[in-house]
Amino acid sequence: MNEVQKNSIPKEVIWTLNELQNAGYESYIVGGCVRDIYLARVPHDYDVTTNATPEQIISVFEKTDRRVVYENNFGTVGIINKDLEKNHPGYEIEITPYRTEGNYSDSRRPDDVSFSTDIHEDLMRRDFTINAMAYDPIHNSLIDNYQGKEDLGNSVIRTVGNPDERFSEDALRIMRAIRFASQLGFICETETMTSIKKHAASLANISAERIRDEFIKLVDAPYAKDGMVHLHKLGLLEYIVPELLEGVDCEQGGIHSFDVWTHNIKSLEHGTYKEYPFYVKLAALFHDIGKPRTRRKANGRGSKEWTFYGHEVVGAKMTKEIMRRLKFPNETMDKVVKLVRYHMFFSDPDAITLSAVRRMIKNVGKELIWDLMDLRTCDRIGTGRPKEKPYRLRKYHAMIEEVMRDPISVGMLKINGDIMIGEMGLKPGPKMGWVLHALLEEVLDDPTLNTREYLEGRTRELFELEDHELKKLGEAGKDKKDEEEFRAVKKLHRKHKV
Ligand code: ATP
Ligand code: MG
Rounded to an integer, the average pLDDT of 251-268 is 89
- pLDDT tens digits, residue range 330-341? 999 999 999 999
Sheet holding 47-50, edge to edge: 67-70, 77-80, 92-97, 47-50, 27-30, 134-136, 141-143
Contacting residues for 278 by C-beta, under 8 A, at least 6 apart? 216, 219, 220, 332
pLDDT(349) > 60: yes
- The alpha carbon of 393 and the centre of ligand 1 are apart by a number of angstroms equal to 44
d(CA 187, CA 157): 6
Would you say the C-alpha torsion 369, 393, 343, 407 has a positive or negative sign?
Answer: positive
Q: Whose CA is nearest to atom 7 of ligand 1?
A: 32
What's the chain's average pLDDT? Answer: 90
* Secondary structure element (H or E) that encloses residue 27, with its range: strand 27-30
pLDDT at 343: 93
> Which residues 6+ apart lie within 8 Å of 494 measured at CB?
none
What's the CA gap between 414 and 443, in Å, rounded? 10
Nearest ligand for residue 183 CA = 1
* DSSP conformation class of 411: G
Q: Whose CA is nearest to atom 21 of ligand 1?
A: 126
Whether the per-residue pLDDT at 45 is higher than 70: the answer is yes
Ligand 1: distance of its center to the CA of 180 in Å?
10
Nearest-angstrom CA–CA distance, 368 and 138: 50
**What average pLDDT does the segment 283-303 reach?**
87
- CA dihedral for 143, 149, 151, 156, sign (positive or negative): positive
pLDDT band at 498 (very low <50, low <70, confident <90, very high): very low
| Residues having CB within 6 Å of any atom of ligand 1 | 31-32, 44, 47, 126-127, 131-132, 170, 172-173
CA of residue 131 to ligand 1 center, whole Å: 7
Nearest C-alpha neighbor of 382 from the set 488, 295, 283, 482: 283
Task: Determine the atom of ligand 1 nearest the C-alpha atom of 217.
Answer: 3
Higher-confidence position of 430 and 278: 278
174-203: average pLDDT? 97
Distance 94 CA to ligand 1 centre (A): 13
One-letter amino acid for residue 279 of the chain:
Y
Between 373 and 471, where is the model more confident?
A: 373
**How far is CA 200 from each of CA 13, 171, 225, 230, 233, rounded to the nearest angstrom?**
38, 8, 19, 12, 11
Query: Which ligand lies nearest to the CA atom of residue 165 in the structure?
Result: 1
Judged by phi (left if over 0) then psi (alpha if -120 to 50, else beta), residue 137 lies in alpha
Residue 134 CA to ligand 2 centre (angstroms): 14
Give the distance (Å) from ligand 1 centre to CA of residue 135. 16
C-beta separation of 32 from 48 below 8 A: no
**Alpha carbon distances (Å) from 264 to 290, 318, 410:** 11, 15, 36
Domains of the chain are 6-154 (3.30.460.10), 158-240 (1.10.110.30), 242-404 (1.10.3210), 410-495 (no CATH)
Atom from ligand 1 closest to the CA of residue 179: 3
d(CA 216, CA 182) in angstroms, rounded, equals 11
Average pLDDT over residues 89-116: 81
Least confident of 12-16, 57-61, 427-431: 427-431
SS3 for 159? strand
**Three-state secondary structure call for residue 50:** strand
Task: Select from 482, 476, 352, 459 the least CA-distant residue to 413.
Answer: 459
- Is pTM beyond 0.75? Reply is yes
Please calculate the CA angle 249-254-260 and round it to the nearest 5 degrees.
30
**Distance of CA 53 from the midpoint of ligand 2 (Å):** 21
Give the model's pLDDT for residue 256.
78
Residue 482 has pLDDT above 50, yes or no: no
DSSP classification of residue 403: H
Question: Which of 127, 162, 210, 216 for mutating ligand 1's site (highest number of atoms within 8 Å of CB)?
Answer: 127
Nearest Cα residue to 273 out of 370, 365, 383, 378: 378
**For residue 170, which atom of ligand 1 is closest to its CA?**
27
Q: Is the pLDDT of residue 215 over 70?
A: yes
Ligand with minimal distance to 31 CA: 1
